[in-house]
Amino acid sequence: MEMIRRKPQQRRVKLHGNRICYLTAGEGPVILLIHGITSDSRTWERVIPGLARSHTVIAPDLPGHGCSDKPKGDYSLGAHACSLRDLLLALGYDRATMVGHSLGGGIAMQFSYQFPEMCERLVLVDSGGLGREVSPLLRAASLPGAELVLPVLAASRLLNAGARVGGLLDRVGLKLGTDLEQMARGHNTLSDGASRAAFLHTLRSVVDPAGQRIDATNRLYLAEQLPVLLLWGRHDSIIPVSHGRAAHARLPASRLEVLERSGHFPQLDEPECFLEVLLDFLEQTEPANAGAHDVAGGYGVVSAAG
């Protein structure tokens, strides 16, 4: 029975008329795993069973991703945060530890700002939103006219070759290979118009041709009441580890862990180390219990333009 609980189960729920698919496993305090752009819940499959030994794990396909619906509408960080709030409430949960990877890190931060009473801890894995630098490929995809090029890329042999090269690099121990392989896999999901539109709306809300548009560093003080873990791959080719170090300097009470053999996907490159770090963080920290009233004072010093 315990093995059944730990094995991820694919489920779906309707939110505001749209289907949201998610993986779930385990019992106990809730951990919400938030994937990055062009990815889906499967990016967490190697670590879900370990987390499910002691926690209820929920790993959704964000709207516009995976097998969730891809409606026309808002794909901003705030809209994604609202979708995750609604998902938790629909499943009967009112609090969770938020674990966000890449774009998911930006969503997790936004969630903690919008719904502090629902956020117990904040775990940022190779997170977006903490600096300007980002992969040139993502910057190029934000250019006007990219919607005309993406169908060609998604159907071309170039990305399949990238996936093969990524696999070869992984086999010889160069973790940059996972980054290439996952980027190729992600772009292969853009073969249909709805997926491309959702991708471009999401990307352009956070990235422009010069780099990341969203900079959360001036709001990190709002997370001072939360246990925060910054977890990065040293060889990240998409978002540099320097962003994690800079965020840690701004949040001295946070914990920074750099996995030496990982790229942008440490949960895939070093799942055992990833689990060890995350489970230790969960065990060694107490969940925050901030209510909306507690954090409202902090927002009072933020200008309306911010």
User: Mean pLDDT for each 10-residue chunk of the chain (306 residues)?
Assistant: 71 96 98 95 97 98 95 94 98 97 97 96 97 88 69 48 46 57 68 82 90 89 92 95 96 96 96 98 92 40 29
The reported pLDDT for the residue numbered 147 is 62
The pTM assigned to this predicted structure is: 0.85
The reported pLDDT for the residue numbered 291 is 54
- Phi, then psi, of 174 in degrees rounded to 5: -100, 110
Instruction: Return the beta strands (E) in the chain as ranges.
Output: 9-15, 18-25, 30-34, 56-60, 96-101, 119-125, 207-208, 211-212, 228-233, 255-259
The reported pLDDT for the residue numbered 165 is 42
- Phi, then psi, of 126 in degrees rounded to 5: 45, 55
Per-residue tokens: 114:
């919008």
Instruction: Return the beta strands (E) in 177-234 as ranges.
Output: 207-208, 211-212, 228-233
Q: Token pair 């979708």 is at which residue?
A: 83
Active site amino acids = 102, 236, 264
Domains of the chain in start order, with CATH, are 2-133+212-294 (3.40.50.1820)
Q: Token pair 């997790």 is at which residue?
A: 108
Q: Cα separation of 26 and 36, whole Å?
A: 23
Bridge partners (DSSP) of residue 58 are: 24, 32
Fill in the amino acid letter for 288. Answer: A
Closest CA to 129 of 217, 26, 25: 217
Sign of the CA dihedral running 118, 120, 123, 127? positive
The reported pLDDT for the residue numbered 293 is 39
The reported pLDDT for the residue numbered 53 is 96
